[in-house]
Structure formats: structure tokens, C-alpha cells
């Protein structure tokens, strides 16, 4: 298969390329990425010379460029990771979220239709379902849970999911969608909870926990997310949505304490700050369909996954120190100044 991986210089798409280029030498992977602030070619350094891998810089919103690429390459499958992904940024600046996460997806869908791509896979999120109450641990998101997005980010992802399913129903485009819970692992940009806290704690800086730190996220190691996507693209049924999650619900404060414990840093670094507007309380996935239909199983639990991740950040400081020494300083000052 010749597979187009969009957003492959980001966190999850980058890990996908690193894993799959090695695990599937018979397949050819073309990685397309705009290299926004979140894209990083250093992530792909270890595979850039592989015969079955190529990187192209480009924008999924650029219809002319995308059509030309599809015409030349005749992809068998497209896996769309490309997106604006940070909820806090979507609250500051929603426009680019609609532009990339909705309009960009429409361009890709049109290209798949025009060039008869055999599979379009949309990488989506549990956040499209909205949130669950903290006091009802029996409730989990299922694939038929109504969409009820809270933030401009999740609303843009929900919009894309609706478009993808409309192209299936109206045009018979062979599509699949996966909706995954929060990911963690190597190469995650340090604006998201876990790498932000690791980077700040190692420098003995205060750790900004929103509200009381009681919001719950369902954590999955990025490797397990990517094995699920690979399975769905190869064996999933067209027109279907698959939830991905590993039953690892944790309150934010407990995640932060886990990081401090493993780094040998004091809890006095924790600093409770003003809450995120519209902050979703709890996410929790029911991945039964993926497990029973496709036989997927995660290999990491939260303890083994967090240990691997923290060790990775300690051993690969140059990867994230490049990031936090640049524009990121302005980002942090801007985003957190009113939270104190
Ligand atoms: P990320 O922000 O690390 O990476 C996104 C990548 O997309 C970057 O490399 C960026 O340069 C690229 N990109 C942005 N706009 C583009 C455009 N217009 N054209 C081409 N490339 C563009 O995000 P991530 O955490 O790796 O998330 C990847 C996908 O997985 C997203 O669709 C996200 O919604 C979804 N997802 C993420 C999580 C999570 O916890 N991070 C969980 C579930 C689903
Ligand atoms: P994040 O990594 O931004 O993912 P998402 O909002 O998509 O779930 O945040 C995870 C949780 O951590 C979320 O409840 C918000 C919280 N959080 C903090 O408490 N402090 C922070 O500095 C950040 C970035 C997040």
C-alpha cells in the first residue's frame, strides 16, 4: 500500500510514522505536514533515509496542491492526523481550528473522491462527545453517544466527523473514523499537560494545575493509539466509527503527582491556577467494539507507559529544549499570565 500520512511531523502522526515505517517495510509512507509550531522534523530524523518513507511540506487546505499530489502519487489510503490540537489555543484563536480541522478535511475528502482512494481514515477524539459527570463512573462514551462538543477545538473535530460520515453516506466514499482518549508518550509538544509538567518540574518551576485538578482524563500511550489506527485502516469496516481507550482514568492532580514522584521533585511545586473556560469534567472511553471486532489490545498500562515516557523526556532533552528555548517562552507567558 502507498499511504499518505497527514500531520506526520506532529506528536501522534510522528510516532505513527516511526512505528509503521519499520513494522511495514512492504508499505510506502508519504508524510505531509505544514510544519506549524507543532510540527517538528527532528521527530522523524531516524526514518528520513528509509526507502519506504518520504516527507513533503504542504497544507491540507491547499486544494490545488493536494489534487496535484494525489494525481501524481495515487495513494491507496490516507490517514489524517493533521489538525490544530490544543484546546487552550482554540479558546484564544478559533479561526485556524475551523480552517484546518474542518475545511482542510473537506479538501482531503474531495481529493479521495476525485482520485478514488480506497480508504480515508480520520483521526478524531473522545472530546467530540463532550464530557461526563465526575460522580457517574458507570457512564462511558460509546460510538453511539451523541456528539456534544464543548470547545472550539472539539467542535471543529466533531464537524469534521460529520463531514466524513456524510461523504460515506452521500458519495459512498470508503471512510473510517477513530476517536481516541488523551494520548501521552515521546515527542509530545510541551503545551499539553504531561510534557509541560515534566519540562517544568525538571527545571524546578511551578506546575500550573487548572482549577482544583479534579478533572479526569482517560490516558492512552501513543503507541497503543497507533496500533489501533493501523488495525482499523487495514481491517475496519467502511463507514464505521471506532472508540480507542485503555480504561486509564486519572484526575489531573494524580497525573501531576505521579510525574513529581518519578522525578523525585516536591509537591510544593504544584500551583493551582484559574480554570480553563468551559473545562470538560471527565472523559472515559468504551473501546469494546475495537477489542471485540478487531482484536486490539493495548500493551502499556499507565504505570509502564508513564515510566517509559518520563525516561524518554529525560534522555531526549535536546528535542524539547529546542522547543522551549524559542517562541514557546512567549506562548507560556501569554497563556498563563492571567491564570495566576
Ligand atoms: P499535534 O498538534 O502534535 O500535531 C498536528 C500536526 O498537524 C503538526 O505536525 C502540524 O504541523 C500539522 N498541521 C497542522 N495544520 C496543518 C495543515 N493545515 N496542513 C498540514 N499539516 C498541518 O497533534 P497530535 O496530538 O499529534 O494529534 C494528531 C491528531 O490526533 C489530531 O487530529 C488530534 O485531533 C487527534 N487526537 C489527539 C489526541 C491527543 O491526546 N493528542 C487524542 C485524540 C485524538
Ligand atoms: P491537555 O493536555 O491540554 O489536553 P485536553 O484538554 O485536550 O484534555 O489537558 C489535559 C488536562 O490537564 C485538562 O483537564 C486540562 C489540564 N491542564 C492543566 O491543569 N494545566 C495545564 O497547564 C494544562 C496544559 C492542562
| Domain CATH code at residue 233 | 3.40.50.720
CB-ligand 1 contact for 99 (6 Å cutoff) = no
Q: How far apart are CA 246 and CA 302, in angstroms?
A: 9
The residues carrying an active-site annotation are 126-127, 153
Q: Which run of H or E residues covers position 55?
A: strand 53-57
Indicate which ligand has the atom closest to the C-alpha of 219.
Answer: 1
Residue 163 near residue 106 (C-beta atoms within 8 A): yes
> Per the structure, how many domains does the chain have?
1
pLDDT of residue 69: 98
Indicate which ligand has the atom closest to the C-alpha of 217.
Answer: 2
Question: Helix (H) and strand (E) counts for the chain?
Answer: 13, 13
Kindly give the confidence (pLDDT) of every residue in the chain, 340 residues in length, as a single tens digit, with 9 standing for 90 and above: 999 999 999 999 999 999 999 999 999 999 999 999 999 999 999 999 999 999 999 999 999 999 999 999 999 999 999 999 999 999 999 999 999 999 999 999 999 999 999 999 999 999 999 999 999 999 999 999 999 999 999 999 999 999 999 999 999 999 999 999 999 999 999 999 999 999 999 999 999 999 999 999 999 999 999 999 999 999 999 999 999 999 999 999 999 999 999 999 999 999 999 999 999 999 999 999 999 999 999 999 999 999 999 999 999 999 999 999 889 999 999 999 988 7
CB-ligand 1 contact for 89 (6 Å cutoff) = no
Query: In this structure, is residue 94 part of a structural domain?
Result: yes
Q: Which run of H or E residues covers position 240?
A: strand 240-244
Q: Structural domain of residue 31, as residue ranges?
A: 2-185+222-245+280-300+328-336
Residue 192, SS3 per DSSP: coil
Query: In this structure, is residue 209 part of a structural domain?
Result: no
The residue to mutate among 128, 130, 252, having the most atoms of ligand 2 within 8 angstroms of its beta carbon, is 252
Query: In this structure, is residue 193 part of a structural domain?
Result: no
What is the 3-state composition of the chain as percent helix, strand, coil, each rounded to the nearest 5?
45, 20, 35
Query: In this structure, is residue 55 part of a structural domain?
Result: yes
Q: What is the pTM of this model?
A: 0.98
Question: Which backbone phi and psi does 64 adopt, to 5 degrees?
Answer: -60, -45
Question: Which backbone phi and psi does 271 adopt, to 5 degrees?
Answer: -135, 115
Question: Which backbone phi and psi does 282 adopt, to 5 degrees?
Answer: -150, 140
Q: How far apart are CA 130 and CA 141, in angstroms?
A: 9
Query: In this structure, is residue 274 part of a structural domain?
Result: no
Ligand 1: which atom is nearest the Cα of residue 59? 19
Q: How far apart are CA 45 and CA 49, in angstroms?
A: 8
Ligand 2: which atom is nearest the Cα of residue 256? 19
Query: In this structure, is residue 92 part of a structural domain?
Result: yes
Residue 113, SS3 per DSSP: helix
CB-ligand 1 contact for 34 (6 Å cutoff) = yes
Q: How far apart are CA 110 and CA 114, in angstroms?
A: 6
Query: In this structure, is residue 275 part of a structural domain?
Result: no
CB-ligand 2 contact for 182 (6 Å cutoff) = yes
Query: In this structure, is residue 101 part of a structural domain?
Result: yes
CB-ligand 1 contact for 17 (6 Å cutoff) = no
State the distance from the centre of ligand 1 to the C-alpha of 101, rounded, in angstroms.
9
Amino acid at each position: 500500500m502507498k499511504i499518505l500520512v497527514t500531520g506526520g511531523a506532529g506528536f501522534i502522526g510522528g510516532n505513527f510514522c516511526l512505528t509503521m515505517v519499520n513494522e511495514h517495510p512492504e508499505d510506502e509512507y508519504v508524510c505531509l505536514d505544514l510544519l506549524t509550531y507543532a510540527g517538528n522534523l527532528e521527530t522523524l530524523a531516524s526514518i528520513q533515509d528509509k526507502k519506504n518513507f518520504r516527507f513533503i511540506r504542504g497544507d491540507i487546505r491547499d486544494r490545488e496542491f493536494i489534487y496535484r499530489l494525489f494525481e501524481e502519487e495515487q495513494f491507496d489510503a490516507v490517514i489524517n492526523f493533521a489538525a490544530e490540537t490544543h484546546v487552550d489555543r482554540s479558546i484564544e484563536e478559533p479561526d485556524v481550528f475551523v480552517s484546518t480541522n474542518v475545511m482542510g478535511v473537506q479538501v482531503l475528502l474531495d481529493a479521495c473522491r476525485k482520485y478514488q482512494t480506497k480508504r480515508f481514515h480520520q483521526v478524531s477524539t473522545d472530546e467530540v462527545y463532550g464530557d461526563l459527570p465526575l460522580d457517574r463512573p458507570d457512564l462511558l462514551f460509546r460510538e453511539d453517544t451523541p456528539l456534544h462538543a464543548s470547545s472550539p477545538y472539539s467542535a471543529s473535530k466533531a464537524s469534521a466527523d460529520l463531514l466524513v460520515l456524510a461523504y460515506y453516506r452521500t458519495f459512498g466514499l470508503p471512510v473510517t473514523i477513530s476517536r481516541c482518549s488523551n494520548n501521552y508518550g515521546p515527542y509530545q509538544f510541551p503545551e499539553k499537560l504531561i510534557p509541560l509538567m515534566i519540562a517544568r518540574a525538571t527545571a524546578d518551576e511551578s506546575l500550573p494545575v487548572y482549577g482544583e485538578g479534579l478533572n479526569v482524563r482517560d490516558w492512552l500511550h501513543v503507541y497503543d493509539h497507533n496500533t489501533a489506527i493501523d488495525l482499523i485502516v487495514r481491517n475496519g469496516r467502511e463507514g464505521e466509527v471506532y472508540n480507542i481507550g485503555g480504561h486509564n482514568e486519572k484526575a489531573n492532580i494524580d497525573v501531576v503527582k505521579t510525574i513529581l514522584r518519578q522525578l523525585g521533585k516536591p509537591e510544593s511545586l504544584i500551583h493551582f491556577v484559574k480554570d480553563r473556560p468551559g473545562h470538560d469534567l471527565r472523559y472515559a472511553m468504551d473501546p469494546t467494539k475495537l477489542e471485540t471486532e478487531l482484536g486490539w489490545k493495548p500493551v502499556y498500562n499507565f504505570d509502564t507507559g508513564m515510566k517509559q515516557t518520563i525516561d524518554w523526556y529525560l534522555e531526549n532533552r535536546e528535542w524539547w529544549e529546542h522547543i522551549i528555548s524559542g517562541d514557546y517562552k512567549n506562548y507560556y507567558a501569554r497563556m498563563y499570565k492571567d491564570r495566576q
